[in-house]
Amino acid sequence: MSGRTGSTSPTLTAGPRHGAGHVGGHLTGPAPAAGVGPPARPTPEDARARFFAPDPARVTADLSVRLGSLLLDSPVMPASGCFGPELEGLLPMDRLGAVVTKTVFSAQRGGNAAHRLSETGMGMINSVGIPSPGVPGFLRDVLPRYHATGRPVVVSVGGLRPEEYAEVAEELGDAEYAALEINVSCPNLEHGGTEIGADPEAVARITREVRHRAGGRPVWVKLAPMVASVTEVARAAHRAGAEALVVANSYPGMVVDPGTGRPVLGNTVGGVSGPAVKPLSLRLAWLVAQAVPVPVIGCGGVSTAQDALDYLRVGAAAVQVGTATFARPQAMAEIVRELDDRCAGAGVAKLPELVRPGGDHEDATTPTRHPGRSADDRPSRGNG
C-alpha cells in the first residue's frame, strides 16, 4: 500500500485606554491622527509564508521513505496527540509524510483533571489523560477531518486493558486509514495500573490481535521508554507482526509548584517531552534499530532538521515531531524544508545519501555498532 498522495507575526492585542496600543509585547504611545507622524513600517513577513509560496526554480530532493508496506513522501510526521487537523492552515500539509491521530479508545473518555500541562526547563510535562470521543465519535467527527489534510492517516489506538486494543481495531472496521499505531503506554487497569508496554508478552499478544482485525493494513507499535528492556519489547512486537516501531513515548515525571509545594499537574505525575529527552530517546532508537529488522520511527525531542538527521543516522527511518509543534506549529514544515536544503547543499538527490555519515559506512541506513556495546539495553562489560 502506498502512502503517496501527491516565527509567527507580531500579535496585536487590546491595550490600555486613551488610544495606546500593545504591539508585539511592547507598549506604544497614543495612536497618531491620520496622516500625522512617520509612515507605518511594513508588516514583517510571516515566517510561514515561505513554506506556502511556490518556487518554480526550486529543485527538490527525494525525501521519500518506506515504512514496511507504506511509501511516504517524507520522513516527518506528527507524534500522536501533538497535532490536530485544525492546524492544517498553519503549514503546507504536502510536506508531511503522514498525519497521526490522537489516541482513540473504544468508549468516550474525558481525560485527567486540570492542570494538564506545564513547561519545564527544556520541554514540557503533560497529563492530558488522552480524552477520546470513542470509536463512533472518532469515525463520525474526527477521522474525516484528518482525511481532509490530504495525507496518509495513521490511527493511534489505545486500551486500558489488553482486550480493548483489539476492540478498537475491530470497531474501526472498513474505515479508511493507512496504518494503526498501538499506544502501549496506557495503564493496565486489570493489573493495578502497570504500563501495558512493560510486558513483552502483553505487547506481543496485543499486536497479534490488532493485526488480525486491521484488514491487512500495517500495524505499528509505539514503545514505552521506561521498561526493563526496550529491545525485548521491540523483539516481541516484531515477532507478533509489527511493521514499524515508534521509539519512544514520553518519560514519567513530576513538577512541584514552588509557592504551594504541591504538584502542578492535576494528576500529580505526567509525561516529560521536548529537547531534554532527545539523548534518552536517541539511545533507545539506536538500540531498537540494532535489535529488529523493521523500520524504527524516532520520537523524542525532534525540533530541527539536525535532530531528525541524528535519529536517521543511528538507524531510524523516520521521525515524529511532538512538543516543538506547540511553540512552532510550522516546525514540521521547517524540518522538511531544511532537509531538502541540506540535500541541495550536499549535492545529493536522495535523503539516504545525506544521512550517510561518511567515512567507511557502507549503508546509510545501517546503525553503527560501537565497540564495547552490545545490542541490548545495558553497556557490555569491559576488561577493567
Model confidence over 360-382: pLDDT tens digits? 333 334 444 443 344 566 544 34
Q: What digits encode the pLDDT tens for the residues 314-325?
A: 999 999 999 999
CATH 3.40.250.10 fits 59-354, yes or no: no
Q: For the whole model, what pTM was predicted? A: 0.82
List the end-to-end C-alpha distance of the chain, in Å, as a whole number: 51
Q: What digits encode the pLDDT tens for the residues 248-307?
A: 999 999 999 999 999 999 999 999 999 999 999 999 999 999 999 999 999 999 999 999
384 labeled part of a ligand binding site: no
Residue 195: band (very low, low, confident or very high) from pLDDT cuts 50, 70, 90 = confident
304 labeled part of a ligand binding site: no
150 labeled part of a ligand binding site: no
297 labeled part of a ligand binding site: no
What whole-number distance in Å separates Cα of residue 126 and Cα of residue 149? 26
Q: Which residues are catalytic?
A: 186
274 labeled part of a ligand binding site: yes
260 labeled part of a ligand binding site: no
Hey, what's the cell of 87? Answer: 492546524
Q: What digits encode the pLDDT tens for the residues 25-52?
A: 333 334 444 444 444 444 455 666 666 6
Residue 103: band (very low, low, confident or very high) from pLDDT cuts 50, 70, 90 = very high
Element (H, E) at 77: strand 76-78
Residue 53 has pLDDT above 90, yes or no: no
Give Cα separations from 3 to 63, 297, 378 (angstroms). 13, 16, 36
User: Which pLDDT score, from 0 to 100, does residue 123 have?
Assistant: 96
The Cβ of residue 339 has, within 10 Å, a number of other Cβ atoms equal to: 24
Residue 198: band (very low, low, confident or very high) from pLDDT cuts 50, 70, 90 = very high
What whole-number distance in Å separates Cα of residue 278 and Cα of residue 284? 10
Give Cα separations from 321 to 228, 247, 283 (angstroms). 25, 12, 17
Q: What angle do CA 61, 281, 384 make, to 5 degrees?
A: 120
- Closest alpha carbon to 133 in 125, 123, 143: 143
Q: What digits encode the pLDDT tens for the residues 221-257?
A: 999 999 999 999 999 999 999 999 999 999 999 999 9
Helix runs in the chain, H state only: 49-52, 134-137, 143-147, 162-172, 200-212, 230-239, 278-291, 305-313, 324-327, 331-346, 351-355
118 labeled part of a ligand binding site: no
What are the sequence ranges of the domains in the chain? 59-354
